[in-house]
A and B are shown apart, each in its own frame.
Chain A
Amino acid sequence: MAKVNRTRSTSPPDGGWGWMIVAGCFLVTICTRAVTRCISIFFVEFQTYFTQDYAQTAWIHSIVDCVTMLCAPLGSVVSNHLSCQVGIMLGGLLASTGFILGSFATSLKHLYLTLGVLTGLGFALCYSPAIAMVGKYFNRRKALAYGIAMSGSGIGTFILAPVVQLLIEQFSWRGALLILGGFVLNLCVCGALMRPITLKEDHATPEQNYVCRTQKEDLKRVSPYSSLTKEWAQTCLCCCLQQEYRFLLMSDFVVLAISVLFMAYGCSPLFVYLVPYALSVGVSHQQAAFLMSILGVIDIIGNITFGWLTNRRCLKNYHYICYLFAVGMDGFCYLCLPMLQSLPLLVPFSCTFGYFDGAYVTLIPVVTAEIVGTTSLSSALGVVYFLHAVPYLVSPPIAGGTSPQWPANCES
């Protein structure tokens, strides 16, 4: 028995199959984050077909984003208790079903349910487990791996936006939704790539799981990846959950959670209000759109290069400081924003903010992994992304309400 454990549990490979996991996570980020952003391309079609205004159709995007983030803990729980592969494949099937049913919609309410709730749920089941898996396969090169994996949202938006526009022109929105549903089915391929790995630090025998019931204070980490977890969960669900979410009581994690809450609250209005702010200081429409494009492209560069940078020998042990630096620079950019009243000043602002926003996105899983360790990484990421959900929903309207000179309706 001990012999089997010795050959099966390994240290993070930092390469080998790990790069396939990174490719899988990259595809997951494209199929979830980039596709969510491209849904807004359909709004004009929905407005014409259902004769509704922009506010009604914009709800679809809000619902998808919100459900994806709010149900992120659910995704972690499913992948912990079944397996990462099954969880992501299930998510892919759900999301694809949402798109396919949406292509037959006869009213906007149908779209809220299918394209909004069902697809959002499918994405939630895929997103955090895939990111957690990258953390299990990489240790020394974690930041670089995350940088490459998270750049999928920027690169995916860049590629998918004209493709979706072309699909709508060729097949109208119904056909385009159907084909996009097929594309999202590739999440199942990503799920198949996520081979489970048992790490040295979390090899646990069934006896130890039994012991957890009686001696839970003595155990620091318990693996939820054991194949006997299913029947164990049935007998001791509450104990299991307590073990899984033990990190919630760690002071480091509480500080991280509060920081993430404030960061998400502050970051999200910028993407909504950059264009109206630029228009209000006298920048033309094309130049304002150019600012958003710069933001998107520099975001991708920030993802990859900052991941590579923090893996350099000099910065390897200072991930927290890099994270603080990235967040601090974002805040500093925000402080300078009221002084930037012309295009030549807004372009460097876009570049700086975009770069450090990409850096922040890359470092979130790295810092979370350092605080909670790889066993609870999946659940911890679920909680972190859950904390992103409410500020994303709430802060753009609040920002619109408190600044009377900005238009509340930001159709641009």
Chain B
Amino acid sequence: MRALSGLLGARAPTPRLLLLLQCLLATARPGSADDSAPDSPFTSPPVREEMLEKYSNFSLENHNISLTEHSSMPVEKNITLERASNIKLTCQFTTSGDLNAVNVTWKKDDELLENNYLVNATGSTLYTQYRFTIMNSKQMGSYSCFFQEEKEQKGTFNFKVPELHGKNKPLISYVGDSTVLTCKCQNCVPLNWTWYHSNGSVQVPVGVQMNKYVINETYANETKLKIKQLLEEDGGSYWCRALFQLGESEGHIELVVLSYLVPLKPFFAIVAEVVLLVAIILLCEKYTQKNKKHSDDSNGIENNVPRLRKNVSYFRVIFQIKGTIQYT
């Protein structure tokens, strides 16, 4: 009874029973090239199909690299992977020489991969395909296909988890103030976020002390760490770690905590300059006004003298005329 329920239950099938099930399914299905992409020259062997059946709820990723005999630099392709997927890597090699003389190998990092890859030749192009499933972080890395003729041609597929872009410039804040550190992942959704603080070389996880730190995760692809009541020791490097199914990624933010005296120095310098300039300008104005007054007064005295003289001469003329009238 328990064995039967174990067989029928989908949670924990034993490997042998699973293989039996797959064999039964394989015989029931007609062998065809339906699984392969329309333009692929390969027909899928039964074993491939069964493995795909097992992981059919994973997405399928297709990646191609083209090489020729004249490629001088190794060709690399960077692939960002966030969750477990079925992978199909195809390398094609075009040469004018004999295709049968070309030796094809696949390597993961520097480890040679046995079987599991297919080789096919069409016209003057050699195709090789490697299908596998990535389920954990150990399976991430670089997968390379090698074509050995006189010269070795190499194509590499680099699998990485999505990178977090930290800020290049440090975040400035003040003692007693609060600040918000943000980490965002562009087109990915991590399973988990954690924050670390390092002052020096040791990384310390940021605990959620109620008064000090508040972690806010409104959207799944970003995390915000709010730090209240900043102190000088709170400055330093902050790391936000995003956990994916296939590994971890880190982002870095630099926080600098300044005291209030820092911006006060340029401020007081400017205030001193303003006070000085205003004093100089107003003193200059008073000085010029005084000078003007002096010159006005002195001009006035000088102006009065000729007027007096004019008046005196005017009266002299009047008297003279009166005198002449009296005489006549």
Contacts and interface: CB of A to CB of B under 8 A. Distances in A.
Contacts of B179: 49
A154 to B, nearest CB: 23
A188 B274 contact: yes
B278 interface: yes
A169 B281 contact: no
23 contacts: A3-B303, A4-B296, A7-B299, A48-B182, A49-B180, A89-B278, A169-B172, A170-B172, A172-B171, A172-B173, A172-B174, A174-B177, A174-B263, A175-B262, A178-B264, A179-B263, A179-B266, A179-B267, A179-B270, A183-B270, A186-B274, A188-B274, A193-B281
B6 to A, nearest CB: 53
Interface of A is mostly: helix
A174 B266 CA distance: 13
A333 interface: no
Given A185-B274, A189-B278, A169 B262 contact: no
B11 interface: no
B321 interface: no
Contacts of B191: none
- Shortest 10 CB-CB contacts between residues of A and residues of B: A175-B263, A182-B270, A172-B172, A192-B281, A182-B267, A189-B277, A192-B278, A171-B263, A185-B274, A178-B263
B254 to A, nearest CB: 12
Contacts of B300: 3
A189 B281 contact: yes
A390 B277 CA distance: 37
A189 B263 contact: no
Interface string B163-191: 00000010111100101101000000000
Interface in B275-297: 277-278, 281-282, 285, 296
B79 interface: no
Interface in A168-216: 169-172, 174-176, 178-179, 181-183, 185-186, 188-189, 192-193, 195
A257 B169 CA distance: 50
B308 to A, nearest CB: 14
Contact of A178 (B180, B267, B278, B303): B267
A230 B296 CA distance: 27
Interface in A58-96: 89
Interface in A220-268: none
Contact of A189 (B268, B269, B274): B274
B285 A195 contact: yes
B271 interface: yes
Contacts of A172: 171-174, 258
A172 B230 CA distance: 14
A192 B279 CA distance: 9
Interface residues of B, number: 29
Given A4-B296, A179-B263, 12 more contacts: A48-B180, A49-B179, A175-B172, A179-B266, A182-B267, A182-B269, A182-B271, A183-B270, A192-B281, A192-B282, A192-B285, A193-B281
Nearest to A186: B274
Interface of A: 3-4, 7, 48-49, 51, 89, 169-172, 174-176, 178-179, 181-183, 185-186, 188-189, 192-193, 195
Nearest to A196: B285
A175 B260 CA distance: 8
Contacts of B180: 48-49, 51
A235 B19 CA distance: 108
Contacts of B268: 182
Contacts of A49: 179-180
B267 A174 contact: no
Contacts of A7: 296, 299
Contacts of A193: 281
Contacts of A183: 270
Nearest to B174: A174
A97 to B, nearest CB: 12
B22 to A, nearest CB: 53
A186 B169 CA distance: 31
Contacts of B299: 7
A171 B177 CA distance: 13
A172 to B, nearest CB: 4
Nearest to B276: A189
Contacts of B169: 169
A111 B27 CA distance: 75
Nearest to A103: B263
A174 B257 CA distance: 13
B257 to A, nearest CB: 10
A3 B285 CA distance: 22
A211 to B, nearest CB: 27
Contacts of B285: 192, 195
A400 B173 CA distance: 38
A189 B277 CA distance: 6
A189 B280 CA distance: 10
Residue among B177, B182, B268 having the largest count of chain A Cβ atoms under 10 Å: B177
B171 to A, nearest CB: 8
B101 to A, nearest CB: 51
Contacts of B278: 89, 188-189, 192
Nearest to B216: A51
Contacts of B303: 3
A49 B270 CA distance: 27
Interface string B1-31: 0000000000000000000000000000000
Contacts of A3: 300, 303
A192 B277 contact: yes
Residue among B179, B281, B299, B300 having the largest count of chain A Cβ atoms under 10 Å: B281
Nearest to B289: A195
A171 B258 contact: yes
B45 to A, nearest CB: 50
Contacts of A195: 285
B303 to A, nearest CB: 8
A68 to B, nearest CB: 21
A171 B180 CA distance: 16
A297 B300 CA distance: 53
A406 to B, nearest CB: 29
B172 A171 contact: yes
A195 B288 CA distance: 11
Nearest to B272: A182
Contacts of B174: 172, 174-175
A74 to B, nearest CB: 23
Contacts of B277: 189, 192
A159 to B, nearest CB: 16
Contacts of B258: 171-172, 175
Contacts of A169: 169, 172
Contacts of A170: 172
